Structure 1
Amino acid sequence: MRGIDQLLRLLKNLRHQSRILTSGLLLVAWLAAGCSSTPKEPAVAAGTKAVGGTDEQIFLGDTIEKNYDPNVIMKRGEAFFDKEEYSEALVEYNHFLDLHKSHVLAPYAAFKIGESHFKMAKSIDRDPEPLTKAITALERMRKDFPGSRYDAQAQQKIQECHEWLAQMHLFVGQFYYRRESYLAAAHRFEQIIKIYPDKPVAPDALYFLALSYHELGADDWAADNLTLLAERYPTSKVAADGRSLMAKLGGKKPDTLIAKNPSATPFSDARPYASPSDRSDLPSIPSAASAFGALKLPSANALGQSFTACRLGAWC
C-alpha cells in the first residue's frame, strides 16, 4: 500500500508540473504573437520617390481625394520643385489650377509655373524656350490675378528673363560673327539694340554691329553706329574699342550726324549695302531719351516675332 501511495503522489506531482509548463509555454507564445503584431510603418510603394521631409503618403495611391485635394496637390508640386524636378512640379501646379482656379493658393501656383520654367533654363548657349515660356506664364499670372502678393515677384522674374534672353542673343550674334556670318550676326545685334537698349549687353551689341558692318564693307554704317556708341554708352567697357575702330576707319564723320538727328539712325532692318541716299525709308531706332524714358519690355509673343528661337549653328 505504501508503494502505491507513493506512485500516486508522484503522478500527481508530474501532472501539476505539466500544467505549469504548459501555462508557461502558452504565455511565451502569447507574448511572441503580441510582439509580432505590433503595427509597423507602411513601406513606400515600389516606384514611389522618397522625398525627405515630406509626407510620402501624398505620392501613394490613386484615390479621388488625393487627385482633387488642393493641399495634397500643392504638397506634391512643392516636393518636386524642392527636388529640382521641375517638369513634374509643372504637372502638379497646372493640375492645381485646372481644379482650383479660385483657391487662395491659385496665384501662388500660377507664379510657381513661371518660376519652374525659369529654373529649367540651363545657360545662355542653350535653347531659350524655357525663358519665353516663363515670360508667358508670368504675364498670364499677372493678368489672371492682378494685384496679388506675387505680382512684384513675377515682374522681377520677367525682368530676369529678359536679361538672360538679351545675353543669349548677344552670344548667338558673336557666334555668327566668329563664323564670319556677318549678315546673321548683324541681324541679331540690331534686334538687341531695338528691344533691349537699357540692358548691359546693349553697348556690346552696338559695337559688334559696327564690326559686322565694317566686315561687310559698309564703313559709313559702321561709323554711324560707333558715333551712337560714343554718345549713348560713353563709359561702357567697349567705348575705347569703339574709338579705336573709328580711328581705323579714318576718323570720318558719319554721313548723318546722329547727335543732330537721333531718330535717323542707320540700323534696324536696314540693307547693309544700301547707299546713303536709300536710308531715308529705313525704320529708325528710338532716341536715347525715348528708349530709356518710356521703355516697355516686349511680351513673349513679340519676342517670338523679333527673334527666331533657334539652336546654335543654324542660320536665323
Structure 2
Amino acid sequence: MKDWKNVVLALGSIALLGLGGCSSSEEDQRELVANQGATALYNQAKKSMEVGNFSAAAATLSAIDSRFPFGPLSHQVQLDLIYSYYKTGNTEQTLATIDRFVRLNPNHSDVDYALYMRGVTNMEQDNNLFQNLLRVDRSDRDPSKSKEAFEDFRRLIDKYPESKYTTDAKQRMLAIKNRLAKYEIEVARFYMRREAYVAAANRGRYVLEHYPDTPQIQPALEIMVSSYDELGLDELRENAVKTLKLNFPDSEFIR
C-alpha cells in the first residue's frame, strides 16, 4: 500500500511540474512577444491580415503604433491599421486613425488612400445590415453619413484627380446621390400624407435641382404635379406635367 501511495505522490508531483512548466512557457512567450522589434511584430500583423484575422492584426498594429510611433514602419503600420479597423467594423477607430494620418502626413503619397477609406467607411456606416439581407428599403433613415461620405469623395477627387481611387469614388458618389434623392422623395411622400403640399412640392423641386442625374426625377415630378393640383396652382402643375410628359411619357400622372 505504501508503494502505491508513493507512486501516486510521484505522479502528482510530475503533473504539477508539467503545469508549472506550461505556465512558465506561456509567460515566456508573452515576454518574448513584448520584447520583439517593430519588424517582427509587423510581420506577425501581416500574417494575421493574410488569413483574415483582422482583430488580431489591429491589436498588433496598435501595439506597434504605440511603441514605435516614429519608426521606419510607422506610416505603413497606420495605413494597415486603418484597413484592419475597417474590416473589423470599428468605425470610430477607423475614422480617428484616418484623420490622424491625414493631419500628421498631409504630403504623404498615400493620403489619397486615407481619404478614399474615409468615404468608404462613412458610406458603409450608412448601410443597414437588415436592409441588405432582407432587401428592405429604408430610404427614410437619416442620411447624414451618406452626406459625409459624399464630401469625403469630393475632397479626394478635387485634391487628387489623378488618383487610382478617383474612378471608384465617382461611382460611389453617384450611388450616394441616388440614396440622398430617395430620402428627399420619402420625406416628400410623408408631407403628402400629412397634406403639407407646399413642403412636398418643395422637396420634389429640390430633387430636380440637386439630383437631376438620378432615377428619382420621375417620382419628384409626379409629387410636384399632385401637390400643385391639390394647391390649385394650375400654371405650375402644367409646367410639371409638360416636363413629366417629355421625359416619362408612360407616367400615370399624365392625363
Tell me which residue corresponds to 1:293.
Answer: none
Q: Please give the secondary structure, in 1, of the residue aligned with 2:57.
A: coil
Q: Which residue of 2 aligns with 1:137?
A: 152
**Residue 101, structure 1, aligned to residue 106, structure 2:** yes
**1:156 counterpart residue number:** 171
Matched, 1:78 2:65: no
- Alignment-mate amino acid for residue 95 of structure 1: R
Separation in structure 1 between the aligned mates of residue 220 and residue 174 of structure 2, nearest angstrom:
19
Match of 1:271 in 2: none
Identity of paired residues, percent?
Answer: 26
Residue 126 of structure 2 is aligned to residue 121 of structure 1: yes
Q: 1:230 to 1:52 in 2, by over 3 A?
A: same
State which drifts further: 182-191 or 97-106.
97-106
- Report the Cα offset of residue 62 of structure 1: 7.2
Structure 2 CA distance for partners of 1:230 and 1:67, relative to 1, 3 Å: farther
2-side partners of 1:110 and 1:80: how far apart?
15
Determine the structure 1 residue equivalent to 2:183: 168
Root mean square deviation of aligned Cα:
2.9
- Structure 1 unaligned regions, length at least 5: 1-27, 45-49, 247-316
In 2, Cα distance between equivalents of 1:35 and 1:94: 43
**TM-score scaled by length of structure 1:** 0.58
Per-residue deviation, 1:72: 2.1
Q: Residue 16 of structure 1 aligns with which residue?
A: none
Give, in angstroms, the shift of residue 105 of structure 1: 2.3
Post-superposition Cα deviations, 1:91-134, rounded to whole Å, max 9, x if no partner, equal: 11111112223333221111001111111224421222212211
> Is residue 62 of structure 2 the alignment partner of residue 59 of structure 1?
yes
TM-score of the two chains, using structure 2 as the length reference: 0.71
Q: Quick one: higher RCO (CA 8 Å, sep 6+), 1 or 2?
A: 1
- Deviation string, structure 1 residues 20-48 (Cα, Å, up to 9, x no partner): xxxxxxxx8xx86766543554399xxxx
Tell me, yes or no, if structure 1 residue 110 matches structure 2 residue 115: yes
Question: Which position in structure 2 is the counterpart of 1:242?
Answer: 253
For residues 208 and 71 of structure 1, do their structure 2 counterparts lie closer, same or farther at Cα, with a shift above 3 Å needed? same
Q: C-alpha deviations, 1:191-229, integer Å up to 9, x for none?
A: 112222332110111011010011112234323311221
* Residue equivalent to 1:202: 217
Contact in 2 for aligned 1:176/1:185 (Cα 8 Å): yes
Structure 2: where are the runs of 5+ without partners? 1-13, 34-52, 128-137
> Is the Cα contact below 8 Å between 1:58 and 1:66 reproduced in 2?
no
- Secondary structure of the 2:68 match is helix
User: Structure 2: how far apart are the matches of 1:104 and 1:62?
Assistant: 19
C-alpha distance after superposition, 1:67-89 (max 9, x if no partner): 87122222222122112222221
Q: Secondary structure at the match of 1:98?
A: helix
Q: Kindly provide the amino acid, as one letter, of the partner of residue 162 in structure 2.
A: G
Report how many residues are paired. 208
The higher radius of gyration belongs to 1
- Counterpart residue number, 1:42: 30
